[in-house]
């Protein structure tokens, strides 16, 4: 279920050439915060651990401080969690997305009217 929820606006913020923050990395951060594990977060998004781990590595290198702190072994058999910076980045991205959506509602509505998609409201 979870309806198709169209139209949908996605944002990609390019920090430097080749380094950017988009919906995928943001969702992964959120998944890590909720599951406490890189592999679990990746699995939830149907992506391989290799890919999830690679994204985390990139994320940690994009900012001054790492966004994800991970540990191996121990009582909890290892895991991962967001750092303070990680939470801050995720929060800022979500707010950025929300602001962008509300600031473009009018244009989106007009664009949708030019499509042949029936306006179910």
Partner DNA sequence: CCCCGTTATCTCCGTCGGGATATAACGGAA
Partner DNA sequence: TTCCGTTATATCCCGACGGAGATAACGGGG
List residues binding its own copies (CB under 8 A): 4, 6-17, 21, 62-65, 85, 88-89, 92-93, 95-96, 99-100, 102-104, 107-108, 110-112, 114-117
Q: Which is nearer to DNA, 80 or 89 (CB)?
A: 80
Q: Which is nearer to its own copies, 34 or 65 (CB)?
A: 65
Q: Which does 39 bind (CB under 5 to 8 A by kind): its own copies, DNA, none?
A: DNA
For residues 59 and 21, give the distance between their C-alpha atoms in angstroms, rounded to a whole number.
8
The least CB distance from residue 105 to DNA, in Å, is 29
Q: Which is nearer to DNA, 14 or 99 (CB)?
A: 14
Contact at 8 Å (CB) between 31 and 41?
yes
For residues 16 and 14, give the distance between their C-alpha atoms in angstroms, rounded to a whole number.
6
Distance from CA of residue 91 to its chain's centroid? 10
For residues 13 and 4, give the distance between their C-alpha atoms in angstroms, rounded to a whole number.
24
For residues 13 and 121, give the distance between their C-alpha atoms in angstroms, rounded to a whole number.
31
For residues 36 and 83, give the distance between their C-alpha atoms in angstroms, rounded to a whole number.
12
Check residue 51 for interaction with DNA (CB under 7 A): yes
Q: Which does 62 bind (CB under 5 to 8 A by kind): DNA, its own copies, none?
A: its own copies
Q: Which does 89 bind (CB under 5 to 8 A by kind): DNA, its own copies, none?
A: its own copies
């Amino acid at each position: 279920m979870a309806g198709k929820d169209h139209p949908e606006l996605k944002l990609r913020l390019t920090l430097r050439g080749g380094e950017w923050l988009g919906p995928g990395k943001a969702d992964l951060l959120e998944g890590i915060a909720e599951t406490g594990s890189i592999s679990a977060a990746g699995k939830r998004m149907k992506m391989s651990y290799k890919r999830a781990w690679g994204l985390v590595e990139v994320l940690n290198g994009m900012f001054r401080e790492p966004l994800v702190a991970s540990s191996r072994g121990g009582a909890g058999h290892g895991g991962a969690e967001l750092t303070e910076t990680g939470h801050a980045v995720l929060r800022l991205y979500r707010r950025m997305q929300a602001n962008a959506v509300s600031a473009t509602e009018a244009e989106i509505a007009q664009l949708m009217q030019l499509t042949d998609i029936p306006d179910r409201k």
